[in-house]
Structure 1
């Protein structure tokens, strides 16, 4: 059984959608006092709202916000942030190091087709390279601590889909990175979690100026629409139950609809 009632160093990336915010808040309800939560996002308002919600729990968890540019997301970039945060802390005091990857949130709302190589490279930098950079810095920071790594990839972004060649390619590569990492790293438990088709996406449509179609519209014209929509809170609770029950093999995928 995985126990989160520990002094934890917790990293959450991606607070621009409701899923990331709820992940941060719900897990913070379980940690011991003295835990540290580090939030990475490129939106100060989203960081501030999540920080305020965690402090409202009044459970003596320290929240640190990092307002960053995902396009700068190399390993040394994130390593500098983590080293600075930990400069006044003893990393050996933490019983667990835990990271949830939800970065690349722009991809959850907009259909993104590869119009040219620059667009492709920009998207891959945000949704794949930055993820790898942050994760490598995290692993390097806590070499001797038991670590948990969770990668969130919405269910509609990991299967072939006619409107999302770029998105599916990057997300599938990201999924494989975490699978391979689970096989290669010691003291690391890895979960690729697919949170389902979230209700919050229905009311958060953005439109790509090049093709004028939102992901929600696109999903509704495919068989994927036959899956029921999920409330973000329900999906996060399913994630917590999966982790606490250890109902998965490290490195494998767990889908909301199958667990």
Structure 2
């Protein structure tokens, strides 16, 4: 349970919270779900969203084993493909059913996403349908899910509201052959920055977790069309410079617990 030992904020918590994590079945989303479960007051609800139900059910069992019955944490699993409208609607409906007057804090972590085809250059994407399918999962769903989730119990002024966009250095810097990924991350950052301006009572954070040792990193160093990029990622892997999900997740938990960031900010793991 090394992912639990890195969190060192024993006197703080997220309150009686309703937390939603997308892309929760593996990698960073899975780690964040485990870390969040220890920071929520008894009576909280944790909603895990992903396309595959079996890994979610397995994660639910692990969370319940870690938190124990005393915490009275309700864990809900939602099988949903966020690339599809019905997947977003199913996730929002689960939030509506789980919301109660006892909930103090509504927290959404938009973690779900994909690399897209990184084996090709920008000028190869001549099919609008292909591009739109990518954007549906990586941009459109994040905005629609956020809008749906935060429409729930909107009039309750005492409800604390926080949304996290899992961002990337690619939102700020172009990477050759990563056209779709860079475009999607940049669009998401701007969407949530606008949200912070429009909704000053909400807490909005774009968090770039750094280079994580995940399946996505394996794809990056294996499939990137740009040779220099593949070499760079391979060097980071072989030299042990990739971050664990636990390390980066702990930084995000600290940010959420301290709640001192400027709403709408883009913060990188290495900024902190």
Please give the range of the TM-score, normalised by the shorter of the 2 chains: 0.7 to 0.9
Give the equivalent residue in structure 2 for 1:243.
Answer: 256
TM-score, normalised on structure 1?
0.84
Q: Flag structure 1 segments of 5+ consecutive residues without an equivalent.
A: none
> What SS is found at the alignment partner of 1:187?
coil
> What SS is found at the alignment partner of 1:140?
coil
CA-CA distance at 1:73 after TM superposition: 3.3
CA-CA distance at 1:38 after TM superposition: 0.9
Give the equivalent residue in structure 1 for 2:24.
Answer: 15
Structure 1 position 38 matched with structure 2 position 47 = yes
> What SS is found at the alignment partner of 2:107?
strand
Equivalent positions of 1:62-101 (< 5 A) are: 62-73=74-85, 78-79=88-89, 81-84=91-94, 86-87=96-97, 91-101=100-110
CA-CA distance at 1:71 after TM superposition: 2.2
Equivalent positions of 1:170-181 (< 5 A) are: 170-181=184-195
Equivalent positions of 1:5-154 (< 5 A) are: 5-57=14-66, 58=68, 59-73=71-85, 78-79=88-89, 81-84=91-94, 86-87=96-97, 91-104=100-113, 106-107=114-115, 111=118, 113=120, 114-143=125-154, 144=156, 145-154=159-168
Distance in 2 (CA, whole Å) between partners of 1:33 and 1:79 is 27
Give the equivalent residue in structure 2 for 1:168.
Answer: 182
Distance in 2 (CA, whole Å) between partners of 1:148 and 1:64 is 19
CA-CA distance at 1:116 after TM superposition: 1.9
Give the equivalent residue in structure 2 for 1:229.
Answer: 242
**How far does the alpha carbon of each residue in 1:31-68 deviate from its partner, in whole angstroms, 9 at most, with x for none?**
11111111111111221222122111213211111101
CA-CA distance at 1:166 after TM superposition: 1.6
CA-CA distance at 1:195 after TM superposition: 0.2
Give the equivalent residue in structure 1 for 2:3.
Answer: none
User: Alpha carbons of 1:215 and 1:37: their partners in 2 closer, same or farther (altered >3 Å)?
Assistant: farther
Distance in 1 (CA, whole Å) between partners of 2:40 and 2:214 is 27
User: Alpha carbons of 1:158 and 1:46: their partners in 2 closer, same or farther (altered >3 Å)?
Assistant: farther
Tell which deviates more after alignment, 158-167 or 27-36: 158-167
Structure 1 position 191 matched with structure 2 position 200 = no
Contact in 1 for aligned 2:21/2:108 (Cα 8 Å): yes
Superposition CA RMSD, Å: 3.0
Contact in 2 for aligned 1:8/1:35 (Cα 8 Å): yes
Contact in 1 for aligned 2:220/2:233 (Cα 8 Å): no
Contact in 1 for aligned 2:51/2:80 (Cα 8 Å): yes
How many residues in Structure 1 have an aligned counterpart in Structure 2? 250
Choose the corresponding residue for 2:223, options 190, 213, 231: 213
